[in-house]
Structure 1
């Protein structure tokens, strides 16, 4: 064998070893990327669940607060009206009692004057005495009614104070929940909350438009599926594309605006394997 042949054989062996090392490195890199992607998906799912739970608790607390505030307001209005009615009745009974006292004083004066008259006035005095007894009974009845109305008025005031205390506690609780929402920057838009609570349906679409960012990589895309297909703000889709006759993963996009037949998405997880282009596929089936 000539010297040139030996050199070619050595070169061929070295190139084979290099190719095997390169293939091993590609395999390890692909396997590590898949593991990290699955871990990211699990963490994202956990975060979505936590956000959904917090949003559900906040929504429930707001509904309970609205219901309790409405009930407390209705009860407060009812008690205030009852208190006003009772107060009017007390004033009316007081006036009637004064009139009865005035009448009693007049009748007493008449009776005292009649006693100084002759014996033929005794029958008239007896009649007046009976009238006085009846008036006294009526005074006692009116006094009892007045005491009852005063008790009712006192009970109404106590109930009103209790309602006001409950309302104050609810206001403090509501302020605390709103502070938590602001601190953790939780979304309050019903459309965003709906997208976080309800997973997207299984669907496929195409990238129709792309908009590049400062790094000359795609930052926003317009896709061919929208609200009529079940998409909501907050849903995420995966992007796949054909590069050199191979289908590769190009990242994940999140819906930020949705119309009937299309949606605008932001790239939230770009891929190092390639950039998103018009005509690439989007799907929720991965």
Structure 2
């Protein structure tokens, strides 16, 4: 074999090694996208496939839509009840107004009757001056007229007292109507506030709760932990929990998923001190005095 032939032989061997290395690298970096899409959620060897994740997201979306529709129906029911209550109050006010008008007319009629009685009395007094001979008879008539006048006066006073009491009742009803209108306005403001975010806890405070870390997952970017308490214990998405080991704070997690009996928290990098382990204790963060003051002012 010539020298040039040996050189070509060596070059062919080197290129064969290079091509073999490239083939091994391509095989090592290959990713089975079918498994990524269809991997069943029941197999814990790796995260659920994209199809299962999409189905879970659609189910959660349907649940949220149902809750939103229920809240809308509840709001409409409250508004209907408010309208009925306002209508009842307006009807009661109208009835009181009609009763007041009737009593006013009756009072006016009694005043006119009293005026007529006074005119009769004046005529009797004039007749007394003109007819001294009929003094005894006229005195009897005067006593009768005075008795009738006193009775009429008592009736007038009683009607005046009743009219005054009705006036006070009307004023009280008007004041109560203003108070109810203010309460209705406040209730509408509260409903408007709930329409902004119907699933948020307006106080924002988590219950005083403690759970155990059941599992830890680190995908290189995010660190998540599974905690032994959940929605039935009062936890909601967004609540934060400190993680302790032996009484020492090793990190903090924010809940990103809450089930009835467990919750998933994502580690906050600002508070991450040590790697989480199974058996670590997670406690909810209680509101500070300033937070409680702000929540009280909102109420």
**TM-score (normalised: structure 2):** 0.46
